[in-house]
Amino acid sequence: MSTTPIRIAIIGGGMAGASLLHALLKHPPTWTSTSSSLPLKSEKPAPRDAPPERLHASKRLARVERADEDGPVTLHFTDETRHECDIVVGAGGIRSTVRRGILGERDPATNARNAGWWAVMALKSYADVRASIGEGLVDIDDTREHGWVGDGTFLMHDILNEGQLVQFIISVREKEAEGSDKWYRMVSAEEISKVYWDWPLHLKNAVEEPEQRAIYNWEHPHARTYVSGPICIMGDAAHATTPFQGSGCGMSFEDALILYTLLGGSKAPAEALVDLQVYGQVRRPRTQRIVESSRNTGRIITGGRGGDRVGSGKSKAGPTAKMGFYY
């Protein structure tokens, strides 16, 4: 049986786009390429087995044009080049141009929103942290992550670099920033000290840092669809989330697996259109539920839920029984 090559363009070279490209290269019926706004020499993970002619770096998508609902798609880039394909997968991250093309400029879910937390990350030497926090909580032979819940704050630390470094992540709830357009802010040592003023001394010492840049957590409002004809979105382009369940990259890999399974078995562009509809029906409910669950988890581990403060007794009960779907 003859097959018609399916021309698939992946917009974005991050973990989502790279993993999908790597998988689809195994299927001869698909002719897959990826474009990224980043230069070829970057920290983004280009698959080693990807032919160079399939990788298009330093390109930014301007718009997507369709002759009809199901026909070929023309991609227009800011360098005035064009590319025609049968299927477009938007994997360009939280500010995805493809998402905007699917939902439209006026859709309230098109743009991501500030979720109302900021985070600071710091690295300290293993020996110094053991002297500050204690050997029982920082042990190369027991490399679990430790989390500390406070009043509007959360602190997590884990061991990196084969026991040479300890990573600290400080998360602080700033409800006033929720829904704003802030992506980052500068946080002084005095402000961090004030936030953690009533913490045990050994933990206060651990978070003492000079002024540094804090990054706000952002998330996407729920999109009504991830698919429009021959165009779909995946990864952060579809369901950017807060980090409180550590699930952003995992969801991207799940997206890639489902798309690979569906598109890899298609014999013609018409079949691929059906595959995208199945992908949207399967992935949208699950990923949007995880976005909600992550936000609620963030409220709990920063000491409150909604407008209520959560005491230690309530925190111990936790939402564990409600998270079976996650696994």
Q: Can you give the CATH number for the domain in which 54 is found?
A: 3.50.50.60
The pLDDT, as a whole number, for residue 278 is 98
The pLDDT, as a whole number, for residue 33 is 66
Tell me the residue range of the domain where 94 lies: 6-111+220-295
Number of structural domains (the chain) is 2
The pLDDT, as a whole number, for residue 292 is 95
- Do residue 27 and residue 107 come from a single domain? yes
- Do residue 291 and residue 244 come from a single domain? yes
312 is a domain residue: no
- Do residue 21 and residue 145 come from a single domain? no
317 is a domain residue: no
The pLDDT, as a whole number, for residue 307 is 46
Low-confidence ranges of the chain (pLDDT < 50): 1, 40-43, 306-310, 312, 315-318, 321
Q: Give me the half-sphere count of Cα atoms (radius 13 Å) on the Cβ side of residue 224.
A: 9
The pLDDT, as a whole number, for residue 211 is 82
The pLDDT, as a whole number, for residue 322 is 60
The pLDDT, as a whole number, for residue 215 is 97
- Do residue 100 and residue 248 come from a single domain? yes
300 is a domain residue: no
Please give the Cα distance from 80 to 17 (Å, whole number). 23
- Do residue 239 and residue 209 come from a single domain? no
- Do residue 11 and residue 105 come from a single domain? yes
Asked which of 184, 217, 250 is the last residue of a domain, the reply is 217
- Do residue 183 and residue 122 come from a single domain? yes
- Do residue 96 and residue 17 come from a single domain? yes
The pLDDT, as a whole number, for residue 201 is 79
- Do residue 148 and residue 207 come from a single domain? yes
In CATH, what number is assigned to the domain containing residue 178? 3.30.9.30
Sign of CA dihedral 263, 292, 244, 107: positive
314 is a domain residue: no
Asked which of 217, 237, 254 is the last residue of a domain, the reply is 217
pLDDT tens, position by position, 206-239: 777 778 899 999 999 999 999 999 999 999 999 9
The pLDDT, as a whole number, for residue 190 is 86
Task: Name the residue among 149, 218, 229 with its Cα closest to residue 177.
Answer: 218
- Do residue 277 and residue 188 come from a single domain? no
315 is a domain residue: no
- Do residue 76 and residue 125 come from a single domain? no
- Do residue 107 and residue 147 come from a single domain? no
